[in-house]
Amino acid sequence: MEPEAQVTVGEKQAATGTGNPPEVLDGPFSTRQLLRIDEALRLADQGTGLVFSVYVGGLDEPIREHAQRLHRQLAEPDKSVLIAVSPNQRQLEIVTGRYARKRIPDTYAKLAALSMVASFGGGDLAGGIIQGLDQLASHAGKG
Amino acid sequence: MTVHPTRNIPGLSFRLGALGLSVTETLLVFVGIPAAAVLVIAGLAAAGSRGGGGGGAKRYRPGRPFDFTPVWFLGRPEQLADSAGTALAAGAQAPALTSRKQEQAGREAPAGGTGGASDRW
């Protein structure tokens, strides 16, 4: 994996200013899917007060540690939930911070993971992510 | 347009239909038009699949290699901490994570107490 090639949402706006197609469109999602994921993330953040984040890309071995490293890079890891998906390794990791874990116990994270994996197995990355975000957010409830 | 010889035979008064066409006309109507229609449809199909709209090449199929740029979605981009561990000012562009930053994050003491779940498909 090329970590330098990662694209964050912030860059998407920067690229649109230059007139080139935004780099995020090189990612695994179409524009419509990106909009839906964006909406799902916004609703999850607003509804729960937690910080949800979705990473789609390669994860280095050991995969769990890499996902936790990404989670630590977030501004507030304690109240953050990271969903890391590696389509080529067919691996899903959900990392919840110390505070977020109280709102979303591991058993419920596992439940969300199961339904996401069902969608991923059918080839629907965006659908699985949106469904997982929805499940996690609705279980976390209002902050 | 040349008149087909059978038109001049006396006593033949029924409609000739396609028999009244010359060889070139027959070819034009029965080969040219279908060929044109096939070409137009094939052209539209090719243009449609190349132009995207869920084009076949970009689609993820489990078990097949899937080439794409890694993406990281945040509800608000300013929530990504920089290498010093402080949040970026609101409205600032979140930079792409460099490998150096990732290594630095790896050297930090593990946060501990993180939970979650893992699964494969």
CB-nearest to B115 from A14, A65, A101 is: A101
pLDDT at B16: 66
Burial class from Cβ neighbours inside 10 Å (0-12, 13-18, 19+) for residue A46 reads: exposed
- The two three-digit tokens of residue B37, written as one number: 């229609």
A40 in contact with B, Cβ within 8 Å: no
Tell me, yes or no, if A130 comes closer than 8 A to chain B by beta carbon. Answer: no
B65 touching A (Cβ < 8 Å): yes
Q: Does the CB of B113 have a partner CB in chain A at under 8 Å?
A: yes
Q: pTM for the whole thing?
A: 0.64
Task: Give yes or no for A103 touching B (CB within 8 A).
Answer: no
Q: Are A45 and B106 in contact (CB < 8 Å)?
A: no
Of A99-113, A127-141, B68-82, give the lowest mean pLDDT range. B68-82
Phi-psi region of A139 (alpha: psi -120 to 50; beta: other; left: phi over 0): alpha
Beta strands (DSSP E) in chain A are: 7-8, 51-56, 80-86, 91-96
Q: How far is A142 from chain B (nearest CA, A)?
A: 17
Q: Is the Cα torsion angle A85, A86, A89, A94 positive or negative in sign?
A: negative
User: With bands split at pLDDT 50, 70 and 90, how would you rate the model's confidence at A94?
Assistant: very high
pLDDT computed for residue A112 by the predictor: 92
| pLDDT, position B68 | 83
Q: What is the pLDDT of residue A75?
A: 85
pLDDT, average across residues A121-140: 91
Q: According to the model, what pLDDT value does residue B35 have?
A: 97
pLDDT of A30 over the 60 cut: yes
Residue B90 has a pLDDT of 38
**Looking at residues A83-90, what average pLDDT do you find?**
90
More confident residue, A7 or A79: A79
pLDDT, mean of residues A71-76? 86
ipTM for the whole complex: 0.73
Contacts of B72 in chain A (CB under 8 A): 6-9, 53-57, 70
- Block mean pLDDT (10 aa), chain B, length 121: 57 64 88 96 87 58 83 72 39 43 47 81 87
